């Protein structure tokens, strides 16, 4: 893929034009066409633009993300004539001397493409070949993409640009060396032996180099097909996914940080469905102390005790950016880690976390976004991948059960982490309301008294019948405004609704306590 700087620069100019057209367009047909052209251009540029498109394909809150799905492994591959010389060089022989057969139409990825082949010994394998010239192209991409200025706009002060740059470079350098990927895959396979239901293809080390990686071929369904399975199968698969990801994150600390749909396959030939995990170019090792601190934040959210400011600072969050929003941190953590607080199965489709966090933080949202340490990006990818697959499977699972064994296994270490609230300092979980209460009285006698978890206020509409909502509106209350006010207050105890009807002597009170 010998590509001149000029042609790639022109490609970026075209990409920027497509993106601008898409962003500004209000006509649905024009927007759809612009999106098609944007995806097409991302696929043609390969490298980082295609990788960006793959991550966009997982944008669960945006139905248009499906348009980027074809970048996961259905982008247009290079002709085999351009790939064959790389294989001859890597194997020091003709391709036909190594394989019985090979599918000359490859499956395109961002930095290389995969060809299915059968070795002379009869084994079916996946032959991953790095695009010629992709290293130089990827490095140019970093400059043309403005590095990381896009996600932070012009708000650079206090943002660890150097740290993010180093993390992106480290990850990219590792992904461009297939010998490192092979070592990652072998290591992950060892760890996965203790994780039921997870399959890692075997590396054929004798045929692998820095630009060619050969592994056993394992068939499996894509997430779209798996989502059509029975509820029982989807439920079992969802449980396997969450247990496996938590084991990677909290037990081994060695995580697969590229969870887009092209890297996951699902196998249903046995009693329990299994996850086939592909592509080990982007991996991250999370130190034990950081694993414990994340677990501590989850534990605090589940118990409603402690000051999240201390563990967040210990994780590497920027103190200067976090201090001004300290009183809101418990509310933010309560939303981020809400699935763990539900004892039953949690439906990620009802989470609505982005809107809720935006309401909580208001104009301070950039403080929180910019304060996190660069390495957290890879952990966020894991959770983003988890919610993506759970959403696609439409099979709620219990996060609290899945995390329990990790909390229990690290109980002593978690107890040793100081998260004691400081006197007179707002922001601890103890300052948040615990319960939402609804009381209805008639002629001085209590007719209804209900108690819900405080976070039920986010779904206040669902707790009231149409008649009650109509009465509340007649008294000048707006439930959506009430909910937003509660979020802005970081879920502090307060009166929400108080109304009475003299004719019927009926009174309704709704409050947080």
Based on the fold, state whether residues 330 and 404 are members of the same structural domain.
yes
pLDDT tens-digit profile, the chain (513 residues):
444 544 544 454 554 444 444 444 445 554 454 445 444 544 454 444 455 554 545 554 444 555 545 555 556 788 999 999 999 999 999 999 999 999 999 988 778 889 999 999 999 999 999 988 877 766 665 655 554 444 444 444 455 666 766 777 777 788 889 999 999 999 999 998 888 899 999 999 999 999 999 999 999 999 999 999 999 999 999 999 999 999 999 999 999 988 888 899 999 987 789 999 999 988 999 999 999 999 999 999 999 999 999 999 999 999 998 999 999 999 999 999 999 999 899 999 989 898 999 999 998 888 888 888 888 888 988 998 999 999 999 999 999 999 999 999 999 999 999 998 887 777 789 889 999 999 988 888 888 899 999 999 998 888 888 887 888 888 888 989 999 999 999 999 999 999 887 777 888 899 999
Residue at a domain's end among 430, 447, 473: 430
Domain residue limits at 32: 5-69
Q: Does 456 map to a domain?
A: yes
Q: Does 382 map to a domain?
A: yes
Q: Does 224 map to a domain?
A: no
Q: Does 400 map to a domain?
A: yes
Q: Does 349 map to a domain?
A: yes
Residues of the chain by 3-state class (helix, strand, coil), percent to 5: 55, 15, 30
Based on the fold, state whether residues 389 and 451 are members of the same structural domain.
no
12's tokens: 């970026």
Q: Does 101 map to a domain?
A: no
C-alpha 445/C-alpha 427 separation (Å) is: 38
Q: For residue 317, which phi and psi values (nearest 5 degrees)?
A: -65, 150
Based on the fold, state whether residues 426 and 292 are members of the same structural domain.
yes
Based on the fold, state whether residues 441 and 334 are members of the same structural domain.
no
Q: Residue 504: what pLDDT?
A: 77
Based on the fold, state whether residues 401 and 464 are members of the same structural domain.
no
Q: Residue 74: what pLDDT?
A: 55
Domain count, the chain: 3
Based on the fold, state whether residues 311 and 394 are members of the same structural domain.
yes
Q: CB under 8 Å to 358, separation ≥6 — which residues?
A: 365
Q: Residue 23: what pLDDT?
A: 46
* pTM for this model (two decimals): 0.81
Based on the fold, state whether residues 349 and 422 are members of the same structural domain.
yes
Q: Residue 461: what pLDDT?
A: 84
Residue at a domain's end among 52, 69, 86: 69
Which residue is listed with tokens 């009381």? 439
Based on the fold, state whether residues 439 and 453 are members of the same structural domain.
yes
Residue 437 buriedness (CB in 10 A; 0-12 / 13-18 / 19+): middle
Which residue is listed with tokens 């601008």? 20
Based on the fold, state whether residues 346 and 441 are members of the same structural domain.
no
Angle between helices 479-488 and 353-361 (to 10 degrees): 60
Q: Does 315 map to a domain?
A: yes
Q: Residue 47: what pLDDT?
A: 47
Q: Within its chain, how far is the Cα of 360 from the centroid?
A: 21
Residue at a domain's end among 430, 447, 476: 430
Based on the fold, state whether residues 297 and 422 are members of the same structural domain.
yes
Q: CB-side exposure of 39: number of CA atoms within 13 Å?
A: 22
Based on the fold, state whether residues 398 and 291 are members of the same structural domain.
yes
Q: How would you write 369-399 as a 3-class SS string?
A: HHHCCCCHHHHHHHHHHHHHHHHHHCCCECH
Q: CB under 8 Å to 24, separation ≥6 — which residues?
A: none
Q: Residues 474, 477, 478, 483: is their CA dihedral positive or negative?
A: negative
Strands, E, within 375-489: which ranges?
435-442, 445-453
Based on the fold, state whether residues 485 and 410 are members of the same structural domain.
no
Q: Does 80 map to a domain?
A: no
80's tokens: 């085999």
Q: CB under 8 Å to 185, separation ≥6 — which residues?
A: 200, 201, 203, 215, 280
């Amino acid at each position: 893929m010998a590509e001149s700087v000029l042609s790639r620069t022109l490609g970026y100019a075209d990409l920027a034009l497509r993106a601008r057209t898409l962003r500004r367009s209000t006509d649905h047909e024009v927007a759809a066409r612009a999106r098609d052209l944007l995806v097409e251009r991302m696929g043609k540029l390969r490298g980082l633009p295609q990788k960006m498109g793959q991550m966009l394909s997982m944008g669960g809150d945006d139905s248009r993300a499906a348009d980027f799905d074809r970048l996961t492994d259905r982008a247009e591959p290079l002709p085999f004539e351009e790939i064959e010389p790389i294989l001859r060089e890597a194997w020091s022989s003709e391709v036909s001397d190594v394989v019985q057969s090979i599918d000359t139409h490859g499956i395109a990825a961002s930095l290389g493409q995969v060809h299915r082949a059968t070795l002379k010994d009869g084994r079916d394998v996946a032959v991953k070949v790095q695009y010629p010239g992709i290293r130089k192209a990827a490095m140019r991409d970093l400059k043309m993409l403005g590095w990381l200025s896009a996600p932070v706009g012009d708000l650079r002060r206090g943002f660890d640009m150097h740290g993010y740059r180093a993390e992106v470079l480290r990850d990219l350098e590792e992904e461009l060396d297939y010998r490192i990927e092979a070592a990652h895959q072998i290591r992950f396979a060892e760890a996965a032996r203790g994780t039921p239901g997870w399959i890692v293809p075997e590396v054929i080390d004798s045929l692998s180099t820095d630009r060619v990686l050969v592994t056993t071929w394992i068939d499996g369904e894509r997430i779209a097909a798996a989502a059509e399975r029975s509820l029982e199968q989807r439920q079992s698969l969802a449980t396997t996914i969450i247990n496996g990801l938590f084991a990677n994150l909290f037990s081994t600390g060695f995580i697969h940080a590229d969870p887009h749909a092209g890297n996951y396959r699902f196998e249903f030939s046995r009693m329990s469905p299994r996850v086939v995990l592909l592509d080990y170019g982007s991996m991250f090792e999370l130190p034990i102390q950081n694993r414990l601190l994340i677990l501590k934040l989850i534990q605090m959210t589940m118990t409603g005790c402690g000051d999240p400011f201390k563990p967040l600072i210990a994780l590497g969050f920027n103190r200067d950016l976090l201090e001004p929003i300290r009183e809101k941190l418990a509310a933010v953590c309560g939303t981020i880690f809400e699935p763990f607080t539900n004892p039953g199965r949690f439906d990620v489709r009802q989470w609505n976390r982005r809107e809720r966090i935006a309401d909580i933080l208001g104009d301070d949202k950039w403080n929180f976004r910019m304060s996190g340490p660069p390495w957290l990006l890879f952990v966020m990818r894991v959770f983003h991948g988890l919610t993506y697959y759970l959403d696609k499977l439409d099979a709620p699972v219990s996060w609290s059960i899945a995390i329990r064994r990790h909390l229990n296994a690290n109980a002593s270490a978690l107890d040793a982490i100081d998260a004691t609230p400081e006197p007179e300092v707002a922001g601890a979980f103890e300052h948040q309301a615990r319960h939402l209460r609804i009381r209805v009285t008639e002629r001085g006698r209590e007719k209804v008294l209900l108690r819900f978890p405080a976070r039920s206020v986010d779904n206040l509409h669902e707790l009231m019948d149409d008649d009650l909502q109509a009465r509340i509106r007649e008294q000048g209350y707006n439930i959506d405004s009430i909910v937003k006010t509660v979020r802005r207050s970081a879920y502090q105890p307060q009166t929400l609704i108080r109304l009475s009807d003299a004719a019927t002597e009926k009174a309704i009170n709704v409050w947080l306590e």
